[in-house]
Amino acid sequence: MHNICTLFRREFASYFATPLAFVFIVIFLFLTGVCTFVLGGFFERGQADLAPFFTYHPWLYLFFIPALSMRLWAEERKSGTIELLMTLPVTLWQAVLGKFLAAWAFAGVALALTFPMWITVNYLGDPDNGTILAAYVGSFLMAGGFLAIGSCISATTRNQVIAFILTAMVCLVLFLLTGFGPAINALDGLLPQSIIDAIASMSFLTHFSSIAKGVIDLRDLLYFATLIAISLAANAIVLDMKKAD
């Protein structure tokens, strides 16, 4: 635990040692604003809720989260610090968890800084704050899912650009499009309904939208927890098999 904490703090601080944190947070906040007010029609809808804000989170995460996760292990490989890290008295698990949790906490900070949105909607009307809280929890869990996949993919390469593109593609094809109406409808008739339902149940979108409606179902929580656990286990296995180069 002590080691996870030490690695967490180092990794978390490293985001703020460069302009990365600032650039990331500013652009993230700007784009969530654009999505909510322009694309989502926040005012035109005339409803006091944050649905237009949360609807776009999966698509924003699609390129924001790989930008966070791409450096997690690829940079360690590129700079050779992986050799330093792996010869310190820490276990592989501690390293994987410490780094992942730091990235997740950073994503959490970016998400928390969208609080003016919450203040705005409370100022303008009388929203269901329980639903909003649930949606925040769902969004944070979804960010964790994206990050765990990104961390695993980052461990396979020393090239951050490759890590970014692969993560975005895997998340898009396997975890977003599978739950995206127009994409899943295209499969109608090609595959039996039960298989289509099974595919859709694997998607971030399916689980996120059910939490965002304000219902925190154990199955949705388990889905994200399992996804994160499996991705991080794969991450550790990849590192163990391929430490050098």
Partner 1 sequence: MIEINHLTKRYGVLKAVDDLTFSVAAGEVLGFLGPNGAGKSTTMKMITGFLAPTSGSIRVCGHDVESAPLAAKTCMGYLPEGAPAYAEMTVRAFLDFIANVRGLAGDRRKSRLDDVISRLALGSVLEQPIETLSKGFKRRVGLAQALLHDPPVLILDEPTDGLDPNQKHEVRTLISAMSKDKIIVISTHILEEVDALCNRAIIISNGRILADDTPRNLKARSATGRLDDVFRAITTGAPVQGVAAHA
Q: Give me the residues that bind partner 1 (CB under 8 A), please.
A: 2-3, 6-7, 9-10, 13-14, 17-18, 79-81, 83-84, 86-91, 243-244
User: Hey, what long-range contacts does 60-64 have (CB within 8 A, 24 or more apart)?
Assistant: 60/28, 60/31, 60/32, 60/35, 61/142, 61/143, 61/146, 61/171, 62/146, 62/168, 62/171, 62/172, 62/176, 63/168, 64/24, 64/28, 64/110
CB of 91 to partner 1, least distance (A): 7
Going by C-alpha positions, the residue among 227, 123, 99, 133 that lies closest to residue 175 is: 227
Q: What length is written for the chain?
A: 245
Chain-centre distance of CA 125, in angstroms? 30
CB of 52 to partner 1, least distance (A): 37
By beta-carbon proximity to partner 1, the closer residue of 86 and 233 is: 86
Residue 210 C-beta-side C-alpha neighbours within 13 Å: 15
CB of 234 to partner 1, least distance (A): 19
Give me the phi and psi of 50, to 5 degrees please: -110, 20
By beta-carbon proximity to partner 1, the closer residue of 82 and 172 is: 82
By beta-carbon proximity to partner 1, the closer residue of 197 and 240 is: 240
Helices (H), ranges, the chain: 2-17, 20-34, 42-45, 51-55, 57-69, 71-79, 81-87, 92-112, 115-124, 129-154, 160-170, 181-185, 193-201, 204-212, 218-241
CB of 3 to partner 1, least distance (A): 6
CB of 164 to partner 1, least distance (A): 19
CB of 82 to partner 1, least distance (A): 8
Give me the phi and psi of 214, to 5 degrees please: 105, 0
CB of 99 to partner 1, least distance (A): 12
By beta-carbon proximity to partner 1, the closer residue of 82 and 117 is: 82
Which residue reads 């595919």 in tokens?
A: 199
By beta-carbon proximity to partner 1, the closer residue of 25 and 29 is: 25
By beta-carbon proximity to partner 1, the closer residue of 91 and 226 is: 91
